[in-house]
Structure 1
């Protein structure tokens, strides 16, 4: 038990230090004097069966206080009313334009192909790739572009307030921020491409850099194309910034999103992403899952067998305190934090499923099946 305690407490101490250092650089400051003149930007939205979600996305984008803006939506062979809704909206707003997606070529994922077509049609100096289920404040685009210009960022990614309604969302969704801020040293910067990260819900590219790295064509077969792009940008010597879009302490988030509507979509969505996010580095994937099992779940599993061990109680208190602090910081439910062992167990189960489905080369998403290409 002594070795276990040394490992767990030492790991938690390092992770806590990394989290605090990351928080110092992760915030998205309100900038008093936006860059003028602001460059033309193209907001690019790939959409496949997004009828219930794309209306508020387009509505909040149309309300943006941004002077030179075009909004392109590519309908990727939707079977619902997505295209009709966008077309109707475009008739009342000349900034909105509907594109019809071409057939998916071999060795491309659906989203990468849709984004590639959008980029080819875009006219902006900056390209902003967003998901159809995102919503924005009226100042988000203006301040994001200003932040990118002032910090000479070639890729700026905003991490949204992640809404959760079902029990499975409350258990699993908070792990997005947990993994992002506990394990990746954003405060260090540096050229390491493996540590690169970005969120496909909001990717703001300087167009020149996007084209230099090869755009989405360079990550055509990647299921987690946002992380692949961030790694490629860093490996090419350009600058990536990740910033907080939750806008803590204020009523309105800069960007908000409900990732999944039900448990089935949540299970499939994270199954599609977890193993491919490691880009074929299976030893790193296995180590990461074992690390979580030992550090984040081990103290809870051992407690029934060693209830008199005070160090186990300390470890559990540290874990729950960290989860509650993160829940407060990122507008998450305290219930999900207190049910941490259940959430961690579910995340590990999804990770195992992700690995198995990848080995079977049958990763399902939006009516298509993909084989992971690293």
Structure 2
């Protein structure tokens, strides 16, 4: 029987890790900042900025919600058409046409091998006149008070950047398995309040889907011009801002913003493929994180199938943590949380696929090859 002791120890340790993650997510759920539901009018000039590329079929709801923002007596809307090859330019010009405070500009091409978003955001920032800059993706639909609420939170906390994390609209099996891991990951692993001020790269998080930043702080850290070579430009930007002495991080945007990132498995696979290889800093870092995830969230459930009580406890801890984060961020709880081990396994497989594509220089995004990233 002694030959099984290392296995039992490994399962027990994985269960302890899962339980610790769940406890931390519960604490984070109480610490997570939330924009006020009834904000006062914003007295500052605010620039609402949206980069778009080949989004003709989905930009309409997002742009309409941006144009309809309330409590912003002094605001501008600038949409940058990032070299779209479809009808995106015509669509956004038609939608912006009736609004005197809105305009559409044609962006310049990024350097070869770049995904282009940071370059597009840099162009938008250089055109903006506001003391607060708000970057919104073309798949994010905002509540009418979303920007005013986020600016109120930015100013009341004294932070330089807040990133309201939208409620993720996940439809279809692949999206329901993978998308909830976005908010689960930072609620489980990141000490949110400490991370706001810490300059450590590992304690940084932001989501470029919806980003609200003080203009002076943005320009002071070099802005998006300093991160144009980055695939995860949002993470690179928050790290640059912190190095320059700024503070900021993720806040709860589930009540004021909704995002549907991908329509199906193929979109999801390509979207994660372009960026997962760089999410953990290095190949060794990615391997270590994936091993830890498997240890805590896959090994115990597999052991539970063979009658392990420790394994059953680990599975319960994992499902509980997934449920807590879903409830806190407006996600779907049941029965999705029960498939958490499958979700983690799929994330590990996507990470491996992303690294393989990176090594072979076969990654693309929105028609642009991502090369020169070694």
Find the counterpart in structure 2 of residue 43 from structure 1. Answer: 48
Structure 1 position 273, deviation (Å): 1.7
Find the counterpart in structure 2 of residue 274 from structure 1. Answer: 276
Residues 281-334 of structure 1: per-residue CA shift (max 9 Å, x gap): 332211100011111111222334x22x22221111221222223233323232
Q: How does 1:84-99 map to 2 (within 5 A)?
A: 84-99=90-105
Residues in 1 aligned to 2:130 and 2:213: alpha-carbon distance in whole angstroms: 10
Deviates more, 1:213-222 or 1:364-373: 364-373
Asked if structure 1 preserves the Cα contact closer than 8 Å seen for 2:270 and 2:365, the reply is yes
1:62 aligned onto 2:67: yes
Structure 1 position 107, deviation (Å): 5.8
Structure 1 position 125, deviation (Å): 1.0
Asked if structure 2 preserves the Cα contact closer than 8 Å seen for 1:116 and 1:215, the reply is yes
Find the counterpart in structure 1 of residue 345 from structure 2. Answer: 345
Deviates more, 1:182-191 or 1:325-334: 325-334
Q: How does 1:16-165 map to 2 (within 5 A)?
A: 16-30=22-36, 34=40, 38-65=43-70, 66-106=72-112, 108-165=114-171
SS at match of 1:204: strand
Structure 1 position 29, deviation (Å): 4.1
1:261 aligned onto 2:260: no
Find the counterpart in structure 1 of residue 299 from structure 2. Answer: 298
Structure 1 position 37, deviation (Å): 5.4
SS at match of 1:164: coil
Asked if structure 2 preserves the Cα contact closer than 8 Å seen for 1:71 and 1:97, the reply is yes
Asked if structure 2 preserves the Cα contact closer than 8 Å seen for 1:129 and 1:203, the reply is yes
TM-score by length of structure 2 reads 0.92
SS at match of 1:275: helix
Higher relative contact order (CA 8 A, sep 6+): 2
Residues 151-207 of structure 1: per-residue CA shift (max 9 Å, x gap): 111111010000011111111001001111111111323222332110000111111
Asked if structure 2 preserves the Cα contact closer than 8 Å seen for 1:148 and 1:154, the reply is yes
TM-score by length of structure 1 reads 0.92
Structure 1 position 85, deviation (Å): 1.2
Residues in 2 aligned to 1:223 and 1:370: alpha-carbon distance in whole angstroms: 9
SS at match of 2:150: helix
In structure 2, runs of 5+ residues without a counterpart are 1-6
Residues in 2 aligned to 1:283 and 1:169: alpha-carbon distance in whole angstroms: 27
SS at match of 1:238: coil
Residues in 2 aligned to 1:361 and 1:33: alpha-carbon distance in whole angstroms: 47
Matched pairs, number: 364
Residues in 2 aligned to 1:29 and 1:158: alpha-carbon distance in whole angstroms: 8
1:194 aligned onto 2:214: no
Residues in 1 aligned to 2:33 and 2:345: alpha-carbon distance in whole angstroms: 30
| RMSD between superposed Cα atoms in Å | 1.8
Residues in 1 aligned to 2:298 and 2:39: alpha-carbon distance in whole angstroms: 46
Find the counterpart in structure 1 of residue 176 from structure 2. Answer: 170
Q: How does 1:323-342 map to 2 (within 5 A)?
A: 323-333=322-332, 334-342=334-342
Find the counterpart in structure 2 of residue 250 from structure 1. Answer: none
Structure 1 position 278, deviation (Å): 2.3
- CA distance change for structure 1 residues 37 and 129 in 2, over 3 Å: closer, same or farther? closer
Q: How does 1:180-219 map to 2 (within 5 A)?
A: 180-189=186-195, 190-219=198-227
Asked if structure 1 preserves the Cα contact closer than 8 Å seen for 2:82 and 2:120, the reply is yes
Residues in 1 aligned to 2:277 and 2:296: alpha-carbon distance in whole angstroms: 20
Find the counterpart in structure 2 of residue 367 from structure 1. Answer: 367
SS at match of 1:244: strand
Structure 1 position 260, deviation (Å): 0.4
SS at match of 1:160: strand
SS at match of 1:319: helix
- CA distance change for structure 1 residues 104 and 29 in 2, over 3 Å: closer, same or farther? closer
